Amino acid sequence: MAVTKKPVTRKLQAHADEVRARLAAEYPDASSALRHRNALELLVATILSAQCTDVRVNEVTKSLFRKHPSAKDYAEVPLEELEEDIRPTGFYRNKAKSIKAACRKIVERHGGDVPRTMDELTALDGVGRKTANVILGNAFGVSDGIVVDTHVRRLSQRLGLTAQDDPDKIERDLMNLIPRDGWTMIAHRLIHHGRRVCVARKPNCGDCVLSDLCPSSSV
């Protein structure tokens, strides 16, 4: 996603900087909740995480990753067998098709290695921009964008960092406010804060380190 630096008011930039600093202090070691040892495992886990909790995904991938250590293994496993292995994550038929097809392309086009660019990743089945950002940032240390999941979307709106509702537009607004070297961590920290404090239905504003900055705070 090409981002043209747009003019930002000093007040908004100062607000974003303070939000970022406080979240960094609160969650210095924030990281992906999906357990993985390499890019392939993260790709598979992220596909499985759609409409499923990270806890459930981690339970399933304990045995799945041992059974299928390479992209070739996923490409060649019978579809019905893979479906059964990932059934607890829900939507297992579509997920199994995506994983097999993506891994087939990884084998055929990339020699069995998960590609390292946005365009190559999003050309894989089941991999959209959000998933590609997860893989690039966490497996390869490449800052090409910001992961916008439901937590990042909700918190960036509540905190007044964006007035947009479309994930791509939210991502552009955040990329315009956050330095590139902070793109991966701001997503992790917003997600952690969204799960622990700023929950969807009833945010715990009384225990929020951002309550005095947040235009949505009830405190």
Q: What residues are labeled active site?
A: 130, 149
Quick one: DSSP state of residue 147? Answer: -
For residues 50 and 53, what is the distance between their CA atoms, to the nearest angstrom?
8
Reported as half-sphere exposure (CB side, CA atoms, 13 A), residue 136 has a value of 23
Residues whose CB is less than 8 angstroms from the CB of residue 16 and which lie 6 or more positions away in sequence, other chains included: 161, 177, 178
- What is the Cα gyration radius of the chain? 18
For residues 42 and 101, what is the distance between their CA atoms, to the nearest angstrom?
16
Amino acid at position 56, single letter: R
